[in-house]
Amino acid sequence: MNTIVINKILVHMIDFEHRKIHLSDEFATLNDTTQDYYQKKVEKGLNSNQIKQVVVGSMHEMMLRANQMIESDEKFKEQAKEVTEKFFKLGSVIEGMPNCMVLHVDCYKDGDRVVAALKLNYKFVPVSVLDPDNVRISRAQTLPGIGAPVDEAIIVNVDRHSLYLIEKKYAIDGKLDTYLNTQWIKGEEKLTDRQKVSAMTKVVKKAEANYSVKDSQAIALMKQQLNQKVMHQEVIKPIEIVQQVLASNDQAAEESKENLKNLGVDSEDTINANTLTSAIEKCKITTDTDMSVTVSVEDYVNKNNIEIRENTDGTSDIILSHINEINVR
């Protein structure tokens, strides 16, 4: 399930270049011109694979603000203004912080009430400028395109009392770093969905190397499990999937569970299906002779149109069948 229903959106603009905030008095109009843009931006924010959960107390500033924002339109506007001012105060001391829009959203995601502040950084694009004597190239700021990701966000699931962040790195004190959690939210960070998948891959590869489980198919089986969970709209629990993949070896399964926990993945952690990329649908086979073949996970696991034969001299042959066309890239 991935249903997002927008109740209201309030848009404020921060002009870091001129040290100004431009506040909107009225909620954005959702019509044929704007509906697609706002809907896509909210989806991009709430389904981003960069989202990380941040554990905070029930009396945290943003939890209290979110609860007030759903009480009335006036309280929504009041809190949105204060949150925008906080973004402005923090961003003003960061060199190179681009101008931005802040979308304050009240919506439902899969039935849960969600309040979010989505920060969309303006992009610079080249433009031609007509002077009296010549044409020169300059730069102009423009809103990010409809398909561009959300740069930063504070997302509160009011019903589940949980808070999530999307953070972007900026040049801070001479090095690239984030600031939202360290300077504002100050919560305990949990892994992003992308980091959870990376941890699963690392742990399964280690188990495969140490215990020779699943005849070198463990990663493919892990991807197959992820695909099936997505297809059947089931809850995706990293530890549960890894243990299923390694079920043939009790020691490998138990050790991998502990390894995942050491990497920050807990038993109740889940992965949002919408954050998974098409990479889980394919396997890339790479040989020590610098050859590589990409096949679907299902074909590799079920050995459809691909066969790997072991030779007596210790080498292997990969046989592909039923190929209609070959392209060299």
Q: How confident is the model at residue 216 (pLDDT cuts 50, 70, 90)?
A: low
pLDDT, one tens digit per residue, over 158-205 is: 999 999 999 999 999 889 999 999 999 999 998 888 899 999 999 999
Highest averaged pLDDT of the listed ranges 17-21, 70-74, 121-125, 229-233: 70-74
- DSSP three-state, residue 258: helix
Q: Are 143 and 120 in contact (CB under 8 A)?
A: yes
Tokens of 152: 């930063």
Distance CA 166, CA 303 (A): 40
Distance CA 26, CA 9 (A): 9
Quote the pLDDT of residue 130.
73
Q: Is the pTM of this model over 0.95?
A: no
**Does position 326 have pLDDT exceeding 90, yes or no?**
no
Q: Which amino acid is at 263?
A: L
**Percent with pLDDT over 90 in the chain:** 55
Tokens of 115: 């309040």
pLDDT, one tens digit per residue, over 42-69 is: 999 999 989 999 999 999 999 999 999 9
**Does position 316 have pLDDT exceeding 90, yes or no?**
no
Quote the pLDDT of residue 200.
93
Region 260-270: mean pLDDT is: 90
Stronger pLDDT, 299 or 176, i.e. the higher one: 176
Instruction: List Cα–Cα distances, 21 to 83, 140, 155, 288, in angstroms.
Output: 12, 19, 21, 58
Region 202-224: mean pLDDT is: 83
Tokens of 76: 């929504």
Distance CA 168, CA 203 (A): 27
Q: How confident is the model at residue 214 (pLDDT cuts 50, 70, 90)?
A: low
Instruction: List Cα–Cα distances, 18 to 13, 15, 99, 100, 130, in angstroms.
Output: 12, 6, 9, 12, 24
pLDDT, one tens digit per residue, over 69-92 is: 999 999 999 999 999 999 999 999
Average pLDDT of the residues of the chain: 90
Distance CA 62, CA 161 (A): 11
Instruction: For Cα atoms 242, 273, 270, give the angle at the middle one, nearest 5 degrees.
Output: 50
Instruction: Kindly provide the residue ranges of all beta strands, DSSP E only, lying in the chain, ordered along the sequence.
Output: 4-15, 20-22, 52-55, 100-109, 112-121, 123-130, 135-142, 152-157, 162-166, 170-172, 175-177, 188-192, 282-286, 292-296, 306-310, 316-320
Quote the pLDDT of residue 213.
64
Distance CA 91, CA 99 (A): 10
Which of 75-89, 127-141, 314-328 bottoms out in mean pLDDT, i.e. has the lowest? Answer: 127-141
Of 56, 67, 61, the closest CA to residue 162 belongs to 56
CA atoms within 13 A on the CB side of 290: 0
Q: Can you give the length of the chain in residues?
A: 329
Of 257, 220, 262, 217, the closest CA to residue 240 belongs to 257
Residue 127 pairs with which residues in a beta bridge?
138
Radius of gyration in angstroms for the set of CA atoms belonging to the chain, rounded to a whole number? 24
Q: Are 102 and 118 in contact (CB under 8 A)?
A: yes
**Does position 215 have pLDDT exceeding 60, yes or no?**
no
Quote the pLDDT of residue 39.
95
Q: How confident is the model at residue 308 (pLDDT cuts 50, 70, 90)?
A: confident
Residue 295 pairs with which residues in a beta bridge?
283
Distance CA 79, CA 85 (A): 10
**Does position 36 have pLDDT exceeding 60, yes or no?**
yes
Stronger pLDDT, 320 or 165, i.e. the higher one: 165
